[in-house]
Structure 1
Amino acid sequence: MAAPRFRPIEECATEGRSRQTVAADLDGTLLLSRSAFPYYLLIALEAGGLLRALALLASVPLVYLTYISVSEPLAVRTFVYIAVAGLRVSDVEAVARSVLPRFYAGDVHPEGWRVFRSFGRRCIVTASPRVMVEPFARAFLGADRVIGTELEVDGSGRATGFVAQPGVLVGEHKRQAVTREFGDALPDVGMGDRESDFDFMSICKLTDRIVPVAIATKESMFHGSTVRGLKAMDPYFFFINPRPTYVITFLDQLPRELTCGGGKSPVEVANYVQKLLARVLGFECTSITREEKYGDRRSRVASNDDGPGEANSVST
């Protein structure tokens, strides 16, 4: 089965959200930019000086290579170390209060903000250090809670350059952080921008208005569906086909009795919809989990016996 497909933010309704809770990622979701590098650079320059900023700038090619070939958490750890190691946390906080908000404000995603502000309770969950984003998130975006990567601080109040447990909030760590923060009262809606956000988005409650959408790809020469290779190359191989085609089938909306509102659990809803899509696409569901299929916990986003991860791929 394909990875979960979530609705574009432009299609998210804002009516009747005043009593609901949203958990949203920051970069690429509430901000237009998908990269937090410019803000790390400002921290390095304003709190650490020109040499530190130049060192951070020089590290970009290596960090980018690490991001696409090794892991996103390691890339974030590298930026964090170069940007803040040895700095007083109070200096980082001062820059976050006085300098960063001006630049964050100019980068706000209009559609993300339109949806985010419609909720009565707002939470931001991000891989960036919490101390770096919290002043802006609370004062300008009206966030009630800010969950971010925590810096490790020594006894003198200086950042060691390392991150505290549970580590960089990416993928499963982000999901676990949201679960710890909210317990059983999970957010009603999750907002994210990349595949590593799928984990935390899928612990959010499901809508009762579910319209399954089956998407099949038609290829004649090259197959963009690698399992253990570089997934970023899949679209490239798909589109170099002479006539690449998507076949999209909109199914009927699920009756209420087959949704959470009708008494079904999120897992039951997800599994039912998965079987429905499989039947339309000509697939057969198995008990193999995504972790077993890909052999990589970092890429796990959904499976039949691994919680309701697949459900948001078909929610309206």
Structure 2
Amino acid sequence: MDGTLLRGLLYYFVSESAGIKVLIFATCAGMKVSDIESVARAVLPKFYSSDLHSESWRVFSSCGKRCVLTANPRIMVEAFLKDFLGADLVLGTEMSTYKGRATGFVLSPGVLVGKNKADALKKAFGEAQPEIGLGDRHTDAPFMALCKDGYIVPPKPAVKAVTTDKLPKPIIFHDGRLVQKPTPLTALLTILWIPIGFILACLRIAAGSLLPMPMVYYAFWALGVRVTIKGTPPPPAKKSIGQSGVLFICSHRTLLDPIFLSTALGRPIPAVTYSVSRLSEIISPIKTVRLSRDRATDASMIKKLLEEGDLAICPEGTTCREPFLLRFSALFAELTDQLVPVAVVNRMSMFHGTTARGWKGMDPFYFFMNPSPAYEVTFLNRLPQELTCTGGKSSHEVANYIQRVIAATLSYECTSFTRRDKYRALAGNDGTVVEKTKLQANKVMGC
């Protein structure tokens, strides 16, 4: 906050360049360049897109070749501008680095404002004259004078930002813990809330872990966690008469999905998961089993679990924050005809309860640190036998049908993206979890 205050004083009372230099130093000094690039790729696009002026975008998107000049560090904006806005060239402030870390200082000619923007444009275009120049402050006049036509975009808070569906590439995957853009006021409120929120999260997690499952629903409501149940859930399987368990097919929003499914049913439902953390293992209130990603091994394990009773699975294999469903793995459809789709959606106002780049052990804490987190669990009709593999459908047809049914219920869009696509976009890897020594406990959570 001190850096922000100093930056504001310098920005408005000394120079725009001085204020930006302070902000760059306070934000980036000592950080690994690879971490800055990772944040620029995985976190910032969501916030940048929420500030995209609709009229500016209308003009910008109509141009054949698009060049962006910005005072921001190029490394922090280039990924968004090129990947999501279709920019061909990005000219920004260049940061100084040493042994793979940012020093916090900028390289010559300094912050790209005023005359420096004009010089950068001349160097990039040579004698060619750009057709249109868009600026939003008086210091943009020098570079706009080099364009055939120049326009100032007035600051109008009432102008709605461009919706992500209007972008050349929709923002499906993003990372980071903050739900809202960290404006000074939002950042202050978030910092003040963290101690209170952490204590509240511990209470909520303790209630979910220690209380009998029929009481968890009421405990959550008493502690500010809203659970909405829609549809008619099926009764538990009767092992005494040889009934096999029902397989609940859930959309995947956080690692807590099976917990809230169990809360809605009033009984613990075992779940199969993939990645794990030791902390999640300790606090898990339901029995969960880790998938091996070996098809034969996983199929045998799931069949055995269904013989014991009901089971929950999230066939997307990983979470997605936006209104999209990832591709459903079709293995589950081959193992049983007792399939109940469950549309799961949640709401968070301050912190995201998922991460691709961070430690997943903190996911439940961040979710429950929200002032009033909410989950909505909608039980859909059990799949008719004629739509199952027994009825002649292939496993892929069954999986795709359930994906479409859940998407229609949530007003989401189906995609063919997978866990591998998500982790390549956000973390630069394929999302493979390194096998660790198997734990003796049977309570393991993952996402």
Larger radius of gyration: 2
- Report the TM-score when normalising by structure 1: 0.46
Higher relative contact order (CA 8 A, sep 6+): 1
- Report the TM-score when normalising by structure 2: 0.33
